[in-house]
Amino acid sequence: MATVERSGPPTLIVRSRDAVVRLTGEGVLWEEPATLTHIPYRAVVNGTAASSGTRKSRLRVEVDGRAGGRPEGYELVCGTLAAQTFVRALDTQRATLPATGPIPPVTAVSRPPARVSRYSRGELGLCLLAVAVVLNFLAVMATGRPLHAVLSCLGFFAWWGAADLAVHTFSLARAMWASLTRGVLVEAHYVSSSMRPGAGGRMSHTWVYEYTDLDGRTNEYVTVPSARDSEPPRTRTVTVVPGSDLSACSRTAAVFALLFVLPALLIGLAAMGAAALVAMPGVLLAGLV
């Protein structure tokens, strides 16, 4: 659950491999592994989204030289729709500024050095899995059992998929069960509609609500409108789990997840687990047959 500022624009976040950029009530927050930079709206000279390939654009924010910051500006590569949406939102915020006024400085705060990897944990895991599959395949092929070698490859990927699906299923069940058994009801008020990255990185239309939790903090609840809804309801009742970092959700969504989504995941997990047991890793299979 993210705390939001009532004076700011609707939350908008653009991510790339090297930076995360978001709009706040006062300006652009440009987050990099080693630096956190705040660029006031008045210090922004221009924001552009130039195409740099299929479905990719170069998002660039130029700053006034009197404000400091990087003379060449701030730049990253992201999805085209995300970049264009960000530039439009940035221009909208700048248009609300007074015509004249002092230019506040760009401020940058150094972050503690962190170990930066070119690859995410998932990508590293897939690389290690690929190496293990190739080595296993070659080892079993050397024994003169090509069918076993092929089945062993399927076994490795089935084990990987079953483990990933098991973690996702457990996380979903824990979150939904906590929402139904320990959650409290709060009223969320409609704030705005916005475009946000959804599944696969594609932008989707969302309704943004705000509610106050038990600690007095203002938080967001974001939902995707259904096809039959034309206008967002002014208020929604959502469930919040006290003392937890779980996101707010509606009781209807929690019940639907437990009754329909969770069983579907369990069926998928059983099928994938069965495939993993049938196609055991090659060395074990070769030893059993």
Round to whole Å and give the CA distance between 279 and 138. Answer: 16
pLDDT recorded at residue 117: 52
Q: Which residue is associated with the tokens 């139904």?
A: 180
Average pLDDT of the chain is 78
pLDDT confidence tier of residue 275, bands split at 50, 70 and 90: low
Q: Coil, strand or helix: which one is 257?
A: helix
Better pLDDT: 101 or 163: 101
2 pLDDT more than 60: no
Mean pLDDT across 223-242? 79
Domain boundaries, the chain: 13-110, 121-178+263-288
Contact (CB, 8 A) for 9 and 23:
yes
- 232-257 average pLDDT score: 83
Write 220-226 long-range contacts (CB < 8 A, 24+).
220/1, 220/2, 220/4, 220/11, 221/188, 221/247, 221/248, 222/196, 223/250, 224/198
Mean pLDDT calculated for residue range 64-85:
87
Residues 171, 245 contacting (CB under 8 angstroms)? no
Q: Where are the alpha helices (DSSP H) in 111-234?
A: 121-141, 146-182
Per-residue confidence (pLDDT) for residue 75, from 0 to 100? 92
Edge-first strand listing for the sheet containing 107-110: 13-15, 20-23, 27-31, 35-40, 107-110
Q: What was the pLDDT predicted at 282? A: 47
pTM for the predicted model, two decimal places: 0.45
pLDDT surpasses 70 at 222? yes
> Quick one: DSSP state of residue 229?
-
Alpha-carbon separation of residue 67 from 4, 20, 45, 99 (angstroms): 26, 21, 10, 17
> How far, in Å, CA of 252 to CA of 180, rounded?
10
- The confidence score (pLDDT) of residue 185 equals 80
Q: Give the mean pLDDT of 144-167.
A: 74
Rounded to whole angstroms, what are the CA distances from 136 to 29, 42, 142, 144, 236? 47, 59, 10, 13, 54
More confident call, 233 vs 52? 233
Backbone angles phi and psi of 260, in degrees to 5: -120, -50
Query: pLDDT-based confidence at 7, cuts 50/70/90?
Result: very low
The letter for the amino acid at 121 is: R
- Can you tell me the mean pLDDT for 59-67? 91
Which CATH number is 13-110's, of 1.10.3470, 1.10.8, 2.30.29, 3.50.4? 2.30.29
